[in-house]
Amino acid sequence: MRPTACLTALLLSVAPVGAADVAFLAATEDYANGRDLRAADEIFDAVAPLQDAGFEVVEADELGFPDMIDALSGFEAQADGSGRIVIALAGHFARSTGETWYLTGDADAPSLVTVADQGISLGTILEIAGRAPGGAVVLLGSEGAEFDYGAGLVQGIGALDIPQGVTVIEGPTEALADFARDELAQPGRSLVTALEGWPSLILRGFQAPLVPFLPADGQAAPVVDPDASEKSLWRVTQTIGTVEGFRNYLQQHPDGLFADEARARIAEIENEPARRAEAAEDALSLNRARRREIQRALSLLDYDPRGIDGIFGPGSRAAIAKWQSENAAEATGFLTGPQLTLLATQAERRAAELEEQARLRQLEIERADRAYWQATGEQGDEAGLRAYLERYPDGVFAEIAQARLKPFEAARREAAATQDRATWDAAVSTGTLAAYQGYLQGNPAGAFAAEAQAKISDLEFQQRNAAALQAAARNEERLGLNVGTRRLIEDRLAKLDLKPGEVDGTFDEETRRAIRRYQEARNLTKTGYLNQATLVRLLADSVLR
């Protein structure tokens, strides 16, 4: 539930009868530094139908950041005191864990740090739309074309904090443009009804199936009704249906046409157990960071919130309700202060238990590791070193074994015949499985046969597990980790003596090896890439203290 002050602003901004309807249509199809889109500019096909319906339309076609800011600033001034508001954006979108941006035509590999100067925050767009609750539509069109992003950003539209009374429609640019052209300005139809024939479009936020977005043709002009403004406010208040909304109606119309009904609805809502639970949680004023901590705690206790993004959607509410049910509390899906304390205590205890299990498992792994090292690599001969690395590629002595192999490889190279060396250099330069297999087939007793076999084993492993490793990499990318979080992860790995290399926010091969070591000790899937389970375990101690 949004804060009362914010809702007050929304309801007080209901436009007077006769205020102008306004629309802002922006499309970027040709990007100066990224993959161009195919159908973004088709959104402008909706200009004429909107104008015919009485909208004042601002067009922002292929604009760079400064010009886009100017156009949006002008539109924002128009949107103050307007009637209905339509905002349509078609192009590339970038998201982090907490925000989404619409990229302008001059965007160049934006990162979390630089994106504010290369794109428009959807939070800003939604705030402007929120000035016309019950009469605001935001359309977001995107395509599957890739775009180069810097650290902290990934492609796509993330979770949106949609103001009450604002409808958001997302989908492919072509379908969205067709919908805007053919359906949006049709009088007498609700958006919910209009979208029934558009399966590729997603409707989010405010939904009123019985309320048309534009009045039906021939409908009497409400300006002749002296109570039209109050009735308009009441329609929006009913649709939103919150205590704050009804109270704001009463503040403006304490003796109004619907005052008794508003007071009755407030009493009814406040007596609903779920509403009381929601209000109690609202009183805790949980910010986004605190909500992420709660989601991590739930995940740590095996109650999956379906994401750690600081947004309490259906997944988080279901996880909270399940946790409450299993802790002898009413399963409302909304937390109380004492429950927050209990949840944090349980998660902290569980984190300690898991770390102790990991410590014991790590000790057992290292015991076997050291024993095998003593039997093989510690002797210092090449065969022993290679045997150790084959069994423990990320082992305690892996770096030492690799360093001790270098003199053998250098000596062999020095002694190798010219033809043998040239063949090996060609295989190394190509670096493929076929190249190393070709060398070994042609030189089964060659000076570099052992190295070739080691390379073949490594590449065959990668080939067998390519799909799983690619999926793991994609899962890590979806986490949207920024540089600060990556540094925190590297610091945690370093404190666990897992040797992640320099703590610089860059995940290099040393970091991947450290992550694999961490996963192995905790019996997690050993990929070297982070997923939600690994991330929750890694950050549990810093999150919950």
Exposed, middle or buried: residue 103 (CB in 10 Å: 0-12, 13-18, 19+)? Answer: buried
SS3 61: strand
Predicted local distance difference test score (pLDDT) of residue 19: 63
Query: How far is Cα 335 from Cα 280, in angstroms, rounded to an integer?
Result: 8
Tokens for 447?
């000076």
Percentage of residues of the chain with pLDDT beyond 90: 21
In this predicted structure, the answer to whether residue 17 has a pLDDT above a threshold of 50 is no
Give the helix/strand (H/E) hosting 365: helix 337-375
* CB neighbour list of residue 248: distance below 8 Å, 6 or more residues apart: 7, 8, 11, 12, 237
Neighbours of 247 (CB within 10 A): 17
Mean pLDDT of 259-284: 83
Amino acid identity, position 333: G
Tens of pLDDT, residue by residue over 37-56, are: 888 899 999 999 999 988 99
In this predicted structure, the answer to whether residue 544 has a pLDDT above a threshold of 70 is no
Predicted local distance difference test score (pLDDT) of residue 292: 85
Amino acid identity, position 153: L
Could you tell me the sign of the dihedral formed by the alpha carbons of 444, 449, 452, 458, in that order? positive
Percentage of residues of the chain with pLDDT beyond 70: 92
Say which residue, 464 or 48, is predicted with more confidence: 48
Give the helix/strand (H/E) hosting 462: helix 449-464
Tokens for 140?
């977001």
Nearest to 169 by CA among 187, 182, 184: 184
Q: How far is CA 20 from CA 50, 82, 137, 206, 298, in A?
A: 12, 5, 15, 21, 48
CA 236 to chain centre: 31
Q: How far is CA 146 from CA 160, 293, 467, in A?
A: 22, 32, 20
In this predicted structure, the answer to whether residue 350 has a pLDDT above a threshold of 80 is yes
* CB neighbour list of residue 422: distance below 8 Å, 6 or more residues apart: none
Exposed, middle or buried: residue 424 (CB in 10 Å: 0-12, 13-18, 19+)? Answer: buried
In this predicted structure, the answer to whether residue 98 has a pLDDT above a threshold of 60 is yes
Query: How far is Cα 85 from Cα 101, in angstroms, rounded to an integer?
Result: 20
In this predicted structure, the answer to whether residue 478 has a pLDDT above a threshold of 80 is no
> Would the pTM of this model clear 0.75, i.e. be above it?
no
Predicted local distance difference test score (pLDDT) of residue 228: 63
Say which residue, 308 or 209, is predicted with more confidence: 308
CATH number of this structure's domain 467-544: 1.10.101
Say which residue, 50 or 443, is predicted with more confidence: 50
Query: How far is Cα 1 from Cα 7, in angstroms, rounded to an integer?
Result: 9
Tokens for 49?
């139908």
Residues in the chain: 545
Mean pLDDT of 464-474: 80
In DSSP notation, 215-270 reads PPTTPPPGGG-TTHHHHHHHHHHHHH--HHHHHHHHHH-TTSTTHHHHHHHHHHHH
Tokens for 350?
């569980």
- 310 with 292: CB under 8 angstroms? yes
Predicted local distance difference test score (pLDDT) of residue 229: 63
Tens of pLDDT, residue by residue over 197-216, are: 888 888 888 877 666 788 77
Say which residue, 17 or 158, is predicted with more confidence: 158
Amino acid identity, position 395: G
Ranking 174-188, 385-399, 405-419, 427-441 by mean pLDDT, the lowest is 405-419
Strand pairing partners for 22?
Answer: 56, 85
Exposed, middle or buried: residue 234 (CB in 10 Å: 0-12, 13-18, 19+)? Answer: buried
pLDDT tier, 23 (very low <50, low <70, confident <90, very high otherwise): very high
Predicted local distance difference test score (pLDDT) of residue 101: 94
Ordered by start, the domain boundaries in the chain are 4-205, 373-456, 467-544
- Pairing between β-strand 100-103 and β-strand 93-95 as defined by DSSP bridges: antiparallel
Tens of pLDDT, residue by residue over 67-91, are: 999 999 889 888 876 689 999 999 9
Average pLDDT, whole number, for the chain?
83
Q: Do 467-544 and 4-205 have the same topology in CATH?
A: no
Mean pLDDT of 413-436: 82
Residue pointed to by tokens 């492609």: 155
Query: How far is Cα 219 from Cα 424, in angstroms, rounded to an integer?
Result: 84
pLDDT tier, 162 (very low <50, low <70, confident <90, very high otherwise): confident
Predicted local distance difference test score (pLDDT) of residue 545: 37
pLDDT tier, 543 (very low <50, low <70, confident <90, very high otherwise): very low
**Angle formed at CA 333 by CA 327 and CA 335, multiple of 5 degrees:** 70
Give the helix/strand (H/E) hosting 169: strand 166-172
Neighbours of 227 (CB within 10 A): 12
* CB neighbour list of residue 80: distance below 8 Å, 6 or more residues apart: 131
Reported CATH class of domain 4-205: alpha beta
Tokens for 422?
């040239």
In this predicted structure, the answer to whether residue 5 has a pLDDT above a threshold of 70 is no
Query: How far is Cα 106 from Cα 34, in angstroms, rounded to an integer?
Result: 9
Nearest to 268 by CA among 243, 247, 244: 243
